Amino acid sequence: MKYKDLIKKMTLEEKASLMSGKDFWQTMDIERLGVNSIFLADGPHGIRKQAEAADHLGLNESLPATCFPTAATVANSWNTELGEKIGQYLGEEAVAQKVNVLLGPGINMKRDPLCGRNFEYFSEDPHHAGKMAAAYIRGIQSHGISACVKHFAVNNQEERRMSIDTIVDERTLREIYLTAFEIAVKEGNTKTVMSSYNMLNGAYTNENIHLMREILRDEWNYDGVVVTDWGGSNDRVAGLIAGNELEMPTTAGETNKEIVEAIRNNKIQEKFLDEAVDRLLDLVFNTEEVFKNPQKDFDVKEHHRVAQQVAEESIVLLKNEGNILPLKKDKKVAVIGDFAKQARYQGAGSSIVNPTILDNTLDCLEESELTNVGFEPGFERYGKKSKKKIEQACALAKKADVVLLYIGLDEATEAEGLDRQNMKIPQNQIDLIDTLYEVNPNIVAILSCGSAVEMPWIGKVKGLLHGYLSGQAGAKAMLRVMTGEVNPSGKLAETYPIRYEDTPAYHQFPGKEVSVEYREAMYIGYRYYDTANVNVLFPFGYGLSYTTFEYSDIEVNKDGVTFTIKNNGSVAGMETAQLYVGSKSEDIFRPNKELKGFVKVFLQPGESKSVTISFDERTFRYFNVKTNKWEVETADYNIMIGTSSADIRLEASIFVEGTGAVLPYDQDKLVSYYAGKPNKVGKEEFENLLGRKVPVSTWDRTKRLGYNDTIAQCQYAKGAFARFAFKLIKFSHWFLRKIGKRETANLIMMSVYHMPFRGMSRMTGGVINMSMLDGILMIVNGQFFKGIKHFLKERKKMLKVAKDIN
C-alpha cells in the first residue's frame, strides 16, 4: 500500500467516510490529515459542472463549456489522434473548472440501435470503441486529472437500467462487451472506472466479484478507483468486497456506517477497506497536484474552432448521386427544416453541456458564398402535422437549384434513461420529403441524430450528409463539407440496417421484466449482418469522399499487414483503411470477419502511401470457455483490408500456429451459432451456450415488493395506495405526452417509473434513509398505517441524529 502510514492515522470511521460522496459531486475530506475533497463532473463531450442545484439527468444548468461532438459522432472520424486531441481540450477545460475526475468516455457497445444512449457511445465494435476511448483518456489525463471510463459493463439499454439482469455467455462477455474496457484500462491507463447500474449474470456489476475482482483487478491489473454510477450502489459492503472505492452521491453517512458495522462484526476484514482507501487516496493526491499551479481560463474561441475541426472530420457522406455535392458557388439553395434554425447538436441526460457558443446554419450560411433563396421550417420539430408548413417549404423549393433539407431526431427522442421506440424519423419529416421531391428532386438531406435510423425515403434525396450530433460548431462544419472546403472523411462506426426487424437482437431487446438474454451472442452489428448474409442500408465502416482511393500490394507477415493506398481523384482527401480478420476453420463458430485494426491516411491528388497495420495480442485470440482463457486456434486466417466491412479491397491469408486448447463447444447443441443464424435462438440452445439455465425472466407477482423491485411493480402491489400511485404515474405520463410535453413525460420514465425503491434512498442524498424506506415498503405492501408510523418514527430519529451532529 502506498499510503500505509497515513491510513494508520485514520480512525475506522474516517476511513469508511471516504467510501461515499460528501455531496452530489465531491468526495469526502479529512481536514486534520490533509485529505481534500475532489470534484467529479460529467461528461463525455464537454464539462457539465453544476455550480448550484445538482442532478444526474442534466436538468439544472451547468457552467458554460465547449460542447464537442458526442462520442457517436467522433467515432466516425476513425482518428485516434483526433480523439486524443479532444481529450486534451476536455482536460484543459476540466482543469479550468477545477474538476478532478471527468466522467467519460462512455464505451458501451451498441448492441441494439434503439438504446437511448447510443449517441454517447462510440461503436458496435469493441476494437474501435476501445482505441477511441484510450485516446480520449490519454488526452484527458495528460492534464494530471482523471478520466472515468463508463459504464462497466454490459449496460446496453436504458429500459430498466437500474434493475435489469443481463444474461450473457462468458465468451461473448469477454470478446464483445469487455474488450473495449480492457483496451481503455491497458492502453488508456484510465485512473477511474464507473460501474454500471445493471446486473450481470445475477449480480449487480458493482458487486460482481467475477467482473470487478477476477477480471478488472486480477487479469487486467487495474489499480485505479471504481466509482458507482450515481445512485447505483445496492449493497455497500458487497461493493467494497468487490473492490469499489467510491459510492456516489452521498448517502449522508448511512452506508459508511454499514461498512464500519461489517468490520466490527467481523463480516469483512479491515484490509478490504484499507486497500480501497489506499487507491482512493492515490486518486485524490494524484489529481489535485495540477490545482497547485495558478489556474487560467481556457480560450473559448480556440476551443470552438477545435470543436468545428472535430465535427468536420466526423461528418459522413452517405449518398452523392450525380455528384450533387460539393455545391457549386453559383447554386441557389433553399434551406428547409427546423434543424437549420435550431441545431440538434447533443443528446439529453447527464451528458448535456451548456455550450459557450452555438452556431446555427442560417447564420453561418450568410458567411458562405452560397446564394440562399430563403428558409422554411417545413415541419414541427416535435412531430405534429402541418400541411401549411409543407406548402410553404414547397413554394420555396421551387425557387432553388438545390434544396438543403435539415432533418433528424428531436431532443426528446434520444435521451438517457429511455430507449427509442422505433428507428424511424418523425412521419411529418417523411411527408415533407415526399412532397418536396415532387417539386424539386435536387435534395441534399442533412441528418442530425446520434444513432442509426431507417431511411425508406433515401431514394428521394440525391445527397445525404450525416452530421450525427456534431456539437456547438457543427453547423459551420457541415457547410464547409457541403461546399467542398472540407472533403468528407467520416465513416460509420455502426451499421444502418434496412429495417429494425433485421437487427440481431430484435427478438431480445430490451428483454423481459427481470432480465435480458443476449441470445445473439457475439453476433452484434456487422458481425451478424455479414455472417448471416443480411442486406443492410449502409455497412459498418462506410462513408464516401469527394475523391476515390485505390488499394494495392498487400503483404502479410507474422507482425502485420502492409499495403498501398492511392488517391485517384483530383482533390486531397483522407481514407480510413480497415483490417478485418476471419478464421477459415469451422471448429469454433465465429463471425466471418472482425475488425482488428484501422489506419487513416491523408493523400494529395495522385499521391500514394504504403501503410502498415500491426497485429497485436488480440488479433487472433478467442475466449475459450473450457480452459477459461484467451486462446488462439491453429488455422488459416483471412486478412482483409476494406474501405468498409462490406467492401473488401485486398485479401491475403496467413497460417497461425495456435495454443492447442481443447475445443470448447459441442457443435450439435449450438446449431444456430455454427450456422451463423443467431437471431432466433431458442431458450434451450441459449442455455447450451451459457452452460446453465436462464433465470425466470418475469416478475413474481405474488411476493412482497422489496428494495430492488421497481416503482413500476406497484401495479400489482398489495397496498391499494401503491396501486393508485402507479395509476397516477401512468396517467401523468400519458397526459404529458398527449399535451406535447414529451420531455417532462420522459422524466417520469427516467427518474420514477423504472427506479428500484432503493433509489429513493440512494438518490436523495440522505433525505430518505433505508429505515424510512422500510416504512414506504410497508405502505406499498399493504400495511398502510404501520408503514406511515414507521416512516415518521425513523424520520424523527434521523432528524435528531442530524441535529446532534450539528
Active site residue 431: no
Task: State the SS3 of 144-184.
Answer: CCEEEEEEECCCCCCCCCCCCEEECCHHHHHHHHHHHHHHH
509 sits near ligand BGC (criterion: CB under 6 A): no
What are the φ/ψ torsions at residue 581 (nearest 5 degrees)?
A: -125, 140
Name, in order, each residue with C-beta under 8 angstroms of 215's C-beta and a sequence gap of 6 or more: 178
520 touches ligand BGC by CB under 6 A: no
Binds ligand BGC (CB under 6 A): choice among 56, 279, 460, 790 = 56
Query: Smallest gap, in angstroms, from Cβ of residue 230 to ligand BGC?
Result: 4
42 part of the interface to ligand BGC, by CB under 6 A? yes
At its nearest, how many Å lie between ligand BGC and the CB of residue 43?
6
Task: Say whether residue 633 binds ligand BGC (CB under 6 A).
Answer: no
Output 248 or 412, the one with its CB closest to ligand BGC. Answer: 248
454 binds ligand BGC (CB under 6 A): no
45 is an interface residue for ligand BGC by CB under 6 A: no
Applying CB under 6 A, among 3, 230, 500, 509 the residue interacting with ligand BGC is 230
CB 31 to ligand BGC: min, Å: 26
Among positions 229, 235, 338, 631, the unique one binding ligand BGC when judged by CB under 6 A: 229
Nearer to ligand BGC, 445 or 469 (CB): 469
- Nearest distance from residue 351's CB to ligand BGC, in Å? 7
Q: How many CB atoms lie within 10 A of CB 597?
A: 22
Residues in contact with ligand BGC, counted by CB under 6 A, come to a total of: 8
Q: Which is nearer to ligand BGC, 204 or 230 (CB)?
A: 230
| DSSP letter for each residue of 721-772 | HHHHHHHHHHHHHHHHHHTT-HHHHHHHIIIIIT-BTHHHHHTTTTSS-HHH
| Closer CB to ligand BGC, 45 or 56, in the complex | 56
Please give the Cα distance from 190 to 200 (Å, whole number).
Answer: 22
The nearer residue to ligand BGC, 167 or 227, going by C-beta atoms, is: 227
User: Which entry of 229, 282, 338, 502 is annotated as an active-site residue?
Assistant: 229
Cα angle, residue 665 at apex, residues 662 and 668 outer, rounded to 5°: 135
Which pairing describes strands 549-557 and 560-567: parallel, antiparallel, or unpaired? antiparallel
Output 153 or 446, the one with its CB closest to ligand BGC. 153
Judged by CB under 6 A, does residue 217 bind ligand BGC? Answer: no
82-to-89, 139, 409, 668, 716 alpha-carbon distances in Å? 11, 10, 26, 47, 52
In whole angstroms, how close is the CB of 59 to ligand BGC at the nearest point? 11
Give the β-pairing of 573-583 and 635-644: antiparallel
Q: In 10 A of CB 317, how many CB atoms?
A: 23
Q: Could you say which residues in the range 108-167 bind ligand BGC, by CB under 6 A?
A: 150
Q: Measured from the CB of residue 51, what is the shortest distance to ligand BGC in angstroms?
A: 15
Binding map of ligand BGC across residues 349-368, x = CB under 6 A, - = no contact: -x------------------
Alpha-carbon span 530 to 594, nearest angstrom: 10
What is the nearest approach in angstroms of ligand BGC to the Cβ of residue 103? 4
* One-letter amino acid for residue 691 of the chain: G
CB 277 within 8 A of CB 7: yes
Residue numbers 717-776 binding ligand BGC by CB under 6 A: none
Query: In this complex, which beta carbon is closest to ligand BGC, that of residue 152 or of residue 230?
Result: 230
Told to check if 414 binds ligand BGC by CB under 6 A, we report no
The dihedral formed by the CA atoms of 438, 439, 442 and 444, expressed in degrees to the nearest 10: -80
Q: Work out how close the CB of 226 gets to ligand BGC at its nearest, in angstroms, rounded to a whole number.
A: 14
**Kind of pairing, strands 515-517 and 165-167?**
parallel
Strand order through the sheet with 101-102 = 40-41, 101-102, 146-152, 192-195, 225-227
Please report which helix (H) or strand (E) contains residue 567, including its range: strand 560-567
Binding residues for ligand BGC (CB under 6 A): 42-43, 56, 103, 150, 229-230, 350
The residues assigned a catalytic role are 229
